[in-house]
């Protein structure tokens, strides 16, 4: 979600149309779609004064079917706030002991003056046991989770309940790692993520027990969690965790190894409660789909990777999607294997390419976030043959590499937010930039070895440093045992960049367009899509409401300078009120202001009554 690098087109880079109403009426999945509510937010202007640029500003009213309601932004907590003898975002080691910095101060994951990472990223509101709970997750190398209760007054306003904050212990599943975006599932659990999975091949080649380093910035920080980094394994990280709330209010934590290991930005559960779309954040990454065996149980299922079959290069482009099976697995099977701390060399043989994209016989050329490689699957189970079981293990531990190995597309750039609109039967996915592997390098006559192989160059689009949002039309697929399989992927709304050599990255995004869209949330029951920005190509990142009927953008929140908008998520009908949560992550981190103003902050726009 963070760690963005926007590249100039003048240098060498470093490592759907909407359905018509008549067509919609034919879809069997729309029978239970909620009637559309016309939701129109009052817009805000771009901040111009220093004060406005340094604070969160939001819309103050919304019209629901023509009736105006007064709303606003309301703070819930900031990193470092104290509650119940705990602190939001305090990082702890494998034994539950609070970590401290060299100066003795608390090790907080805040993305500014402490913690290796970006800070608070996502909060979920869960309705369980006739109680409102909130789970917060933190995007630092030592992934951190907390849970607390919320109070809701008769007017719908939410506050953090005193004496309820609890640290969630992740040591039973090897600890947490770089928790990014998340979702409140239909069964009221918190579905988390682990981003920027350590490259196991690089760690194996470079790890030094003497120095406790591997050269991987995030992974090496885990020495503070374990006390001895030799106790860790890169295969412990890069999964989808889930937090349920037990009847006694305690958190129940697990990781879903069945869902694959890559740079998980977000797992989004569809209404059938078994189909999950999975975005992969980085350069030369994939787009994944998981279909669980059972509803509300993500512990076993089949994983698929998308192959982009381009049908248009106009704007954000368009494609048919072919889903390539990566096989069936369950948590227990994969966890047992990784607990033995395998190496990358236990999974694949490697060879040097003869030339760009050309591998020796029996080796497969792949091109992913870890670069161009020649791979050969090994007899992982050591049973004398290479078969589907070896493929399944490799597909979960090295999902992106194995997806490319089997012909899926690994050229996407910064796959981010995912959401679903039941009224149009479309999944929306944001690509924060159209760059690198997604570009049509041949037309620009630049060196392409790093991002495209001739035989695997599926995506060929014009460079767009400001990115955009895609619409994916979904239909039932009996073979995949899901009612929500995307068939096509088409540009919905795009940002628009303009060259500006005075800007940090040589470009700016136009102020009246989206800029590097990240988090997405369809406001269920309405006609509004919320789009949160994470851009270095403007000053204050915006949360937009995109009106899907009249195709207009309305600014509804501006974050402080240097902050990205994360956790933009619609919580619908909580005891009659709805809320759009948002986190201002690492605000003012480059500004000469007091550190108290630099703490990541969670809050919401609302409360809103839709009925």
Q: How far is CA 545 from CA 17, 421, 542, 561, in A?
A: 19, 14, 10, 20
Above 60 in pLDDT, residue 342? Answer: yes
Predicted pLDDT at 501: 76
Q: What is the pLDDT of residues 127-180, one digit of tens each?
A: 999 999 999 999 999 999 999 999 999 999 999 999 999 999 999 999 999 999
Q: Are 606 and 578 in contact (CB under 8 A)?
A: yes
Predicted pLDDT at 26: 35
Q: What is the pLDDT of residues 279-323, one digit of tens each?
A: 999 999 999 999 999 999 999 999 999 999 999 999 999 999 999
Q: How far apart are CA 544 and CA 553, in angstroms?
A: 6
Q: What is the pLDDT of residues 185-202, one digit of tens each?
A: 999 999 999 999 999 999
Q: How many CB atoms within 10 Å of residue 15?
A: 12
Q: How far apart are CA 15 and CA 447, in angstroms?
A: 13
- Considering the chain, what is the average pLDDT of its residues? 92
When pLDDT is averaged across residues 31-37 and rounded to a whole number, the result is 57
Sign of CA dihedral 482, 267, 283, 489: positive
Instruction: Label residue 458 by pLDDT band (50, 70, 90).
Output: very high
Predicted pLDDT at 42: 97
Above 80 in pLDDT, residue 366? Answer: yes
Buried b (16+ CB within 10 A) or exposed e, 511-524: eebbbbbbbbbbbb
More confident residue, 20 or 610: 610
30 Cβ neighbours under 8 A, 6+ residues apart = 24, 422, 423, 425
Predicted pLDDT at 15: 32
* Torsions phi, psi for 148 (to 5 deg): -145, 170
443 Cβ neighbours under 8 A, 6+ residues apart = none
Q: What is the pLDDT of residues 105-125, one digit of tens each?
A: 999 999 876 778 999 999 999
Above 80 in pLDDT, residue 220? Answer: yes
Q: How far apart are CA 362 and CA 377, in angstroms?
A: 10
> By residue range, what is the domain housing residue 336?
1-29+237-494
Local structure of residue 71 (DSSP, 8 states): -
Residue 572 domain flag = no
Predicted pLDDT at 503: 74
Residue 193 domain flag = no
When pLDDT is averaged across residues 352-359 and rounded to a whole number, the result is 78
Residue 57 domain flag = no
Using a pLDDT cut of 90, give the percent of the chain over it.
86
* Torsions phi, psi for 329 (to 5 deg): -150, 165
Residue 23 domain flag = yes
Predicted pLDDT at 536: 92
Predicted pLDDT at 327: 98
Q: How far apart are CA 342 and CA 381, in angstroms?
A: 12
| Beta bridge pairs of residue 491 | 470
557 Cβ neighbours under 8 A, 6+ residues apart = 44, 56, 57, 58, 59, 73, 542, 543, 565, 582, 605
Q: What is the pLDDT of residues 580-590, one digit of tens each?
A: 999 999 999 99
Predicted pLDDT at 611: 76
More confident residue, 375 or 16: 375
Q: Are 487 and 473 in contact (CB under 8 A)?
A: yes
Local structure of residue 229 (DSSP, 8 states): G
Q: How many CB atoms within 10 Å of residue 370?
A: 18
Residue 356 domain flag = yes
Q: What is the pLDDT of residues 490-539, one digit of tens each?
A: 999 999 998 887 776 788 999 999 999 999 999 998 999 999 999 999 99
- Nearest of 237, 138, 150, 242 to residue 197 by alpha carbon: 237
Q: How far apart are CA 89 and CA 77, in angstroms?
A: 11
Above 90 in pLDDT, residue 442? Answer: no
Using a pLDDT cut of 70, give the percent of the chain over it.
92
Local structure of residue 295 (DSSP, 8 states): T
| Beta bridge pairs of residue 579 | 571
What is the Rg, in whole angstroms, of the alpha carbon atoms belonging to the chain? 23
Predicted pLDDT at 471: 98
Q: What is the pLDDT of residues 232-273, one digit of tens each?
A: 999 999 999 999 999 999 999 999 999 999 999 999 999 999
Above 70 in pLDDT, residue 436? Answer: yes
Q: How large is the greatest C-alpha to C-alpha distance in the chain, in angstroms? A: 71
Residue 358 domain flag = yes
Q: Which of 72-76, 390-394, 501-505 has the lowest mean pLDDT?
A: 501-505
Q: What is the pLDDT of residues 52-65, one digit of tens each?
A: 999 999 999 999 99
Residue 346's SS3 state is helix
When pLDDT is averaged across residues 85-99 and rounded to a whole number, the result is 98
Question: Number of folded domains in the chain?
Answer: 1
Cα pseudo-dihedral 596, 598, 604, 605, rounded to 10 = 110
Local structure of residue 344 (DSSP, 8 states): G
When pLDDT is averaged across residues 368-385 and rounded to a whole number, the result is 94
| Beta bridge pairs of residue 528 | 547
Q: How many CB atoms within 10 Å of residue 50?
A: 10
Q: How far apart are CA 504 and CA 398, in angstroms?
A: 35
Q: How far is CA 521 from CA 69, 528, 549, 555, 605, in A?
A: 21, 9, 16, 15, 13
Predicted pLDDT at 452: 77
Q: How far is CA 174 from CA 62, 93, 142, 233, 547, in A?
A: 45, 11, 11, 9, 43
Consecutive H or E run containing 371? strand 371-377
């Amino acid at each position: 979600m963070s760690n963005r690098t926007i590249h100039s087109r003048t240098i060498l880079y470093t490592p759907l149309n909407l359905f018509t109403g008549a067509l919609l009426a034919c879809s069997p999945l729309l029978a239970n779609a909620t009637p559309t509510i016309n939701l129109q937010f009052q817009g805000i202007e771009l901040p111009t004064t220093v004060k406005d640029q340094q604070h969160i500003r939001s819309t103050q009213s919304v019209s629901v079917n023509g009736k105006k309601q007064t709303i606003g932004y309301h703070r819930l907590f900031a990193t470092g706030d104290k509650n119940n003898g705990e602190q939001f975002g305090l990082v702890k080691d494998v034994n539950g002991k609070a970590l401290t910095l060299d100066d003795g101060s608390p090790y907080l994951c805040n993305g500014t003056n402490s913690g290796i990472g970006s800070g608070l990223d996502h909060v979920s509101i869960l309705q369980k046991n006739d109680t409102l709970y909130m789970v917060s997750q933190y995007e630092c190398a030592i992934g951190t989770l907390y849970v607390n209760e919320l109070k809701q007054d008769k007017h719908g306003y939410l506050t953090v309940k005193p004496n309820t904050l609890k640290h969630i212990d992740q040591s039973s599943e090897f600890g947490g790692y770089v928790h990014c975006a998340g979702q409140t599932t239909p069964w009221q659990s918190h579905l988390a993520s682990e981003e920027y999975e350590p490259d196991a091949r690089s760690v194996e080649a470079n790890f030094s027990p003497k120095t406790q380093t591997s050269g991987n910035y995030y992974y090496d920080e885990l020495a503070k969690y374990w006390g001895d980094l030799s106790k860790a394994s890169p295969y412990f990280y890069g999964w989808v965790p889930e937090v349920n709330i037990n009847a006694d209010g305690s958190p129940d934590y697990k990781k879903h190894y069945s869902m694959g290991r890559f740079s998980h930005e977000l797992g989004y559960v569809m209404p059938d409660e078994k189909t999950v779309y999975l975005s992969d954040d980085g350069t030369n990454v994939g787009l994944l789909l998981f279909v669980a065996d059972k509803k509300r149980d993500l512990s076993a299922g089949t994983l698929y990777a998308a192959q982009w079959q381009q049908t248009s290069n106009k704007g954000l482009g368009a494609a048919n999607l072919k889903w390539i099976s990566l096989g069936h697995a369950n948590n227990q099977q994969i966890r047992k294997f990784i607990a033995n701390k395998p190496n990358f060399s236990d999974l694949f043989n490697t060879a040097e390419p003869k030339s760009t994209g050309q591998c020796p016989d029996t080796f497969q050329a792949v091109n992913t976030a870890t670069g161009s490689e020649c791979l050969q699957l090994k007899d992982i189970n050591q049973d004398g043959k290479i078969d589907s079981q070896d493929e399944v293990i490799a597909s979960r531990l090295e999902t992106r590499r194995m997806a490319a190995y089997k012909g899926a597309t690994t050229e996407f750039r910064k796959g981010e937010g995912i959401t679903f609109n039941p009224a149009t039967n479309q999944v929306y996915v944001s690509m924060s930039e159209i760059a690198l592997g997604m570009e049509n390098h041949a037309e620009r006559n630049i060196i392409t070895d790093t991002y495209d192989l001739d035989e695997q160059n599926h995506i060929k689009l014009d460079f767009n440093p400001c990115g955009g949002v895609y619409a994916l039309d979904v239909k039932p697929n009996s073979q995949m045992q899901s009612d929500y399989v995307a068939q096509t992927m088409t540009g919905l709304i795009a940002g628009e960049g303009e060259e500006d050599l005075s800007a940090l990255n040589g470009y700016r995004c136009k102020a009246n367009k989206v800029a590097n869209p990240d988090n997405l949330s369809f406001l269920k029951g309405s006609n509004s899509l919320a789009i949160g920005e994470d851009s270095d190509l403007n000053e204050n990142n915006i949360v937009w409401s995109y009106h899907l009927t009249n195709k207009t953008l309305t600014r509804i929140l501006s974050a402080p300078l240097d902050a990205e908008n994360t956790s933009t998520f619609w919580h619908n009908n909580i005891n009659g009120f709805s809320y759009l949560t948002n986190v201002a992550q690492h605000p003012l981190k480059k500004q000469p202001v007091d550190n108290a103003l630099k703490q990541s902050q969670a809050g919401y726009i609302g409360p809103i009554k839709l009925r």
